[in-house]
Structure 1
């Protein structure tokens, strides 16, 4: 069975958009979907549910997650979608679920985005620590747009590249590969040479995904963070990998995942090497799950 997709749901507009995106991908790839809801403060349920249900501490979490599940089943008949209510904190619950997931989808901000601290938000913790690719979604999903991937010539084997090809394929969109780091020891060659180097690095993936139109964009001398933020305005998805990897001075590109997750105009996929095992030759996004979902103690399923 293909590895499951997990979506975090807290009732916010961004989390509902995340659930819809997760359901669309799960349906397209015939993968199971699991919704994870961490119990909210009682006052928050009053913003989301009718008064009688919101006041019932035992009923409110299940009522919220079941309503989302029913909506997704109506939109995607036949979709295998189940729900988990957990007593753990949201970040801990989602990080735990990521251990056996193929993809984790979360909203960019929760019910009270103004309350979150920039360094300690659930989204930032999950994007930085998950054991699988993470897609971060804002309140509105783009209806269309190309997939953009930030390509680091220092790491041509990044799993972000095959993930981006696969994402473009199932969406039926084109792929734009943005080369945002120096290609030759910190000195830029001419654009044609840089473009050829990138093309050679991804030749195997272009052959494997021959139906995906590909463009290569060389961003010489420009801030990669700003350029990828610009690209996100018209994109359907931006994909980035692990850009710092312990370098003494990662430069502007080291901020890519963090800045894009918080500010991009479209969903952002953060794809790092799997922490479950060493990097494989084909770290694609639809690899089989190693074991059943383990949402951890204090959870209830349906």
Structure 2
């Protein structure tokens, strides 16, 4: 992937944490860091420059320029040697960052903005970008320092190959172990033996060990090819019997990054991401990167 690492900032602590993560990513990949602040000047009903009756540096534009200057300074302090630029983009943050994603290698955002309800802000910003962006999207949350392995969710589908490729590349540049996690369950998604009592498919399958072996083969096949391309990456395969969401959230406790896939464009963003990706975005204890299928 080519292009810059783009990070959206609004002056909030989560946005500054995103700057740290984006700066490290840009330095590791040799990419340029592009710091972006989106601002709807007309909607604010304030003059962009300082009032003639006020201090010369009191305008909104001056405040935004200071915000960007502080973000770039922080990036250079976090990742000395990183090449950084900045820009004020007109319009709403989601639209501006989606436009930037067309030429970016990665877009990085914080887990929430400068105010409001965390879940609402995640729904309107991170989830939309993850579903409709034109490059992978990293949502920075949880621990600030990168420690532990990179964890990738593997479902064995062709649409998940982009997430696997991204995870291998991240583990390589970070010098970390890669944990490939595949969860499977014998619970029926539809049948019930009574209210709140799903039927186990184990009653219908003579050999559960055979099913487990099939899931292990599925994981191995999904990783084949990537192992050969990144021989320096130590891969630990984990086949977990249970639900995918809690397994990934539990794995995030000791990870430095979780990588998940998402389906293609069209329809509602929430439905596109699916319950697993959304749950990880909202509850993981480390940064999460969503790689949409087709990227």
Which TM-score band applies after superposition, normalised by the shorter structure? 0.7 to 0.9
For normalisation by structure 2, the TM-score amounts to: 0.79
Query: 1:52: Cα distance to partner?
Result: 6.4
Query: 1:75: Cα distance to partner?
Result: 3.6
Decide which of 232, 235, 259 is 2:255's aligned counterpart.
235
Instruction: Give distance in 1, aligned partners of 2:289 and 2:35.
Output: 18
Instruction: Give distance in 1, aligned partners of 2:173 and 2:265.
Output: 29
For normalisation by structure 1, the TM-score amounts to: 0.77
2:12 aligned with 1:9: no
| Cα pair distance change 1:88/1:274, threshold 3 Å | farther
Question: In the alignment, what sits opposite 1:254?
Answer: 274
2:179 aligned with 1:152: no
**Which structure shows the bigger proportion of residues in helix conformation?**
2
| Cα pair distance change 1:269/1:52, threshold 3 Å | farther
Decide which of 173, 178, 182 is 1:175's aligned counterpart.
178
Does the 8 Å contact 2:122/2:282 carry over to 1? no
Instruction: Give distance in 2, aligned partners of 1:257 and 1:157.
Output: 12
2:94 aligned with 1:94: no
Query: 1:164: Cα distance to partner?
Result: 0.5
Instruction: Give distance in 2, aligned partners of 1:101 and 1:107.
Output: 17
Aligned with 1:159: secondary structure?
A: helix
Instruction: Name the larger-Rg structure.
Output: 2
Instruction: Give distance in 2, aligned partners of 1:204 and 1:82.
Output: 36
Aligned with 1:152: secondary structure?
A: coil
| Cα pair distance change 1:54/1:25, threshold 3 Å | same
Which structure is richer in relative contact order (CA contacts within 8 A, separation 6 or more)? 1
List runs of 5+ in structure 1 lacking aligned partners.
44-50, 276-302
2:104 aligned with 1:83: no
2:38 aligned with 1:38: yes
| Cα pair distance change 1:75/1:148, threshold 3 Å | closer
Does the 8 Å contact 1:142/1:266 carry over to 2? no
Instruction: Give distance in 1, aligned partners of 2:55 and 2:151.
Output: 46
**Which structure shows the bigger proportion of residues in strand conformation?**
2
Query: 1:124: Cα distance to partner?
Result: 1.9
List runs of 5+ in structure 2 lacking aligned partners.
47-53, 187-200
Q: How does 1:59-208 map to 2 (within 5 A)?
A: 59-114=62-117, 117=120, 120-138=123-141, 140-155=143-158, 158-181=161-184, 189-208=210-229
